[in-house]
Amino acid sequence: MPTPIIEVKNLTFRYDKRLEKETLANVSFAIDKGEWVAIVGHNGSGKSTLARMLVGLLLPQSGLISIAGRELNDESKWELRRRIGMVFQNPDNQFIGTTVQDDVAFCLENLNMSFDEMKARIDEALELVEMSAFREHDPSRLSGGQKQRVAIAGVLALKPDVLILDEALVMLDPRSRRELLASLQQLRNTQNLTIISITHDMNEAAAADRILMLREGHIEKCGPPQDVFHGEIEWEPPFAERLRRTLLKRNCSVPNSYMTEEEMVQWLWK
pLDDT, tens only, 163-215? 999 888 777 778 877 888 888 888 888 888 899 999 888 888 888 999 999 98
CATH number at residue 15: 3.40.50.300
pTM score, two decimals? 0.83
- Say how many domains are in the chain: 2
CA separation for the pair 108, 119 (Å, rounded): 10
Report the 10 Å Cβ neighbour count for 93: 8
CA separation for the pair 219, 26 (Å, rounded): 9
Are residues 102 and 219 both part of a single domain? yes
Are residues 266 and 139 both part of a single domain? no
Are residues 145 and 256 both part of a single domain? no
Report the 10 Å Cβ neighbour count for 110: 8
- The three-class DSSP label of residue 143 is coil
Q: Please, which pLDDT band fits residue 249 given cuts at 50, 70 and 90?
A: confident
- Looking at residue 109, its pLDDT comes to 81
- What mean pLDDT do residues 22-36 have? 92
Are residues 105 and 78 both part of a single domain? yes
Are residues 199 and 269 both part of a single domain? no
Are residues 267 and 224 both part of a single domain? no
SS3 string, 123-142, reads: HHHHHHCCCHHHCCCCHHHC
Alpha-helix residue ranges (DSSP H) falling in 157-258: 174-191, 202-205, 225-230, 239-249
Q: What is the pLDDT of residues 95-135, one digit of tens each?
A: 777 899 988 888 888 778 888 999 999 998 898 888 899 99
| Residue numbers of the domain that contains 243 | 238-270
CA separation for the pair 152, 148 (Å, rounded): 6
- DSSP conformational letter for 2: P
CA separation for the pair 102, 84 (Å, rounded): 21
Are residues 199 and 242 both part of a single domain? no
Are residues 125 and 13 both part of a single domain? yes
Are residues 145 and 266 both part of a single domain? no
The long-range contacts involving 180-183, CB below 8 angstroms and separated by at least 24 positions, are 180/145, 180/148, 180/149, 181/207, 183/129, 183/130, 183/149
Are residues 253 and 191 both part of a single domain? no
Are residues 148 and 244 both part of a single domain? no
Are residues 143 and 169 both part of a single domain? yes
Would you say residue 232 has pLDDT above 60? no
The residues near 104 (Cβ < 8 Å, ≥ 6 apart) are: 97, 122, 125, 126, 150, 153, 154, 157
Q: Please, which pLDDT band fits residue 234 given cuts at 50, 70 and 90?
A: low
